[in-house]
Amino acid sequence: MKKMLTEKEAVSWGAYRSRVQVIAASTPEDLIVEELATLCTEDKRGAKFVMVRSEQAALAVGVGASATGSRVFTVASAHSLVPMHELLYKASLSRLPVVVVDINRAMVPGGLTWTGQIDSLAHRDTGWFQFHCESSQEVMDTIIQAYRISEQVLLPGIVVLAASAASHAVKPVDIPNQKSVDRYLKPCRLINKLDVNDPHSFAVLDTPENCYESYYKMQKAMGKALQVAEKADDDYGKLFGRGYGLVEKYRCQGAETILVTYGTITGTVREVVDQQRARGKKVGLLKVRLFRPFPARLIRSALSKARKVAVIDGEVSPGSGGILHQEVTSSLFKVKPRLKAAVFGFVVGLSGDDIAPDIIQKVVDYTTKRQEPEEKVIWLGVKR
């Protein structure tokens, strides 16, 4: 079934097809929840909606419901994801399969309108897996995949889509039918949950040694999540004809320079790569879809033949550099054989500033001119 949907509506459909049971939400994401409510009401599934005053509260509701064994859906964005911070740990260390859709927004002092990825990237250490999506279609598909991964490895996940740029754009979306989705995504069955017939406690303040162990097991689960995610995407591809991979190699064949990026920037970069290829320049694109757990092995192999790598970051960690840049560099040099490629880091279009193709063009030009990267971060399109 194909429909013209805004990205927000795509989110609603994704959650709806995943048969979510408890929806915890607060006001800023009303469009998604409204659409979802409409869908659920028509369907008479009896999904429970809990409307609360803040996102912290929303995730608290979600965590509670998930601990009781329900499939939970929550939405957040920037200034509303950040108050969840404590609860993010609560969910991950309690190993609750909560899925949060984050409408990516920049952290700016004046409010919550512009696009940016810092809200989700800043939470990379909370133990949640993170998908950064490029399009409405991908968002909807990823939500369904995220539930499967989450419930298999017992880790919560964030599905990220860019605010404004993507969320309000209307695009055709192919909605899979419910039967096939049900075949792909089995009902949520947790072994440990709040069950009066098998009483256990959740999220107890425990001894340091037990907490240490929890972190160790979470890290192990992250390792497993990588494989599970790969398999989930493969299966999805086989069933619905759409696979995305954890990373996507776009025209990397024989590429000397590979641009690495994530999220909605990818669309623009893709176009620039096409232009470059049309001019006969050996430029490719590597899109990082799964940011946590970071698919270092896949990235290493994708970049193994490249001479130069340009990482285009939409966010910066002040005092260090581009966030994706750090991750890519460290994954290239972590194990032998260490790759010899020169890795350039660029910061573009922070806080929703426009990332026009000419900025990406500058990236390509800059990388082509220089043999070795500089120490400092390269800011493009910034007003100095």
Partner 1 sequence: MRHVLPRSQVQNFKIPKMEIMGSGHSICPGCGISLSLRYALKGLGRKTILVVPACCCSNADGSLLYTAANVPVFYAAYGTAAFAVSGIRAALDFQGKTDVQVVLWAADSNNRNFEFWTMNGADRREENFICVCCDDQAAIKARFPKSDFRGGLVEIMAARGISYAATASVAYPDDFIDKFHKAKRINGTRLIHIHLPCPPLWKISANLSIQMARLAVQTRLFPLYEVENGEKYTVNVIPDRGFPVEEFLRPQGRFQHLTNMQTEVIQKDVERNWKSLLNRAAE
> Among all chains, which residue has been given the structure tokens 């910034």?
382
Q: Which is nearer to partner 1, 198 or 375 (CB)?
A: 198
Closest separation in Å from C-beta 118 to partner 1:
23
Closest separation in Å from C-beta 156 to partner 1:
14
As given in the structure block, the two tokens for residue 255 are 């590429």
Q: Which of 92, 112, 86 is nearest to 158 (CA)?
A: 92
Closest separation in Å from C-beta 57 to partner 1:
4
Q: Which residues pair with 317 in a beta bridge?
A: 321
Q: Which is nearer to partner 1, 213 or 354 (CB)?
A: 213
Q: Which is nearer to partner 1, 201 or 371 (CB)?
A: 201
Q: How far lies 43's CA from each of 13, 160, 180, 185, in Å?
A: 13, 27, 17, 18
Q: Where is 376: in which H helix or E strand?
A: none
Q: Which is nearer to partner 1, 206 or 358 (CB)?
A: 206
Q: Which is nearer to partner 1, 47 or 341 (CB)?
A: 47
Instruction: Supply φ then ψ for residue 378, to 5 degrees.
Output: -100, 115
Closest separation in Å from C-beta 278 to partner 1:
53
Nearest-angstrom CA–CA distance, 235 and 185: 11
Closest separation in Å from C-beta 65 to partner 1:
4
Closest separation in Å from C-beta 93 to partner 1:
11
Closest separation in Å from C-beta 26 to partner 1:
10
Dihedral (CA of 40, 46, 51, 57) sign = negative
- One-character DSSP codes across 353-373: ----HHHHHHHHHHHHH-SS-
Residue 291: helix, strand or coil by DSSP?
strand
As given in the structure block, the two tokens for residue 179 are 């039967």
Q: Which is nearer to partner 1, 192 or 368 (CB)?
A: 192
Report yes or no: 299 and 286 within 8 Å, Cβ to Cβ.
Answer: yes
Closest separation in Å from C-beta 78 to partner 1:
20
Q: Which of 191, 187, 119, 131 is nearest to 156 (CA)?
A: 131
Interaction site with partner 1 (CB under 8 A): 21-22, 24, 46-53, 56-58, 60-70, 72, 86-87, 90, 192-196, 199-207, 210
Q: Which is nearer to partner 1, 87 or 364 (CB)?
A: 87
Phi-psi bin for 69: left (phi > 0), alpha (psi -120 to 50), beta? left
Q: Which is nearer to partner 1, 96 or 339 (CB)?
A: 96
Q: Which is nearer to partner 1, 70 or 77 (CB)?
A: 70
Nearest-angstrom CA–CA distance, 310 and 318: 19
Closest separation in Å from C-beta 219 to partner 1:
18
> Among all chains, which residue has been given the structure tokens 């695009």?
171
Q: Which is nearer to partner 1, 67 or 306 (CB)?
A: 67
Nearest-angstrom CA–CA distance, 17 and 14: 5
Q: Which residues pair with 5 in a beta bridge?
A: 171
Closest separation in Å from C-beta 69 to partner 1:
7
Instruction: Estimate the crossing angle of helix 357-369 against helix 265-278, to 10 degrees.
Output: 60
Q: Which residues pair with 288 in a beta bridge?
A: 247
Instruction: Tell me the one-letter amino acid at 243.
Output: G
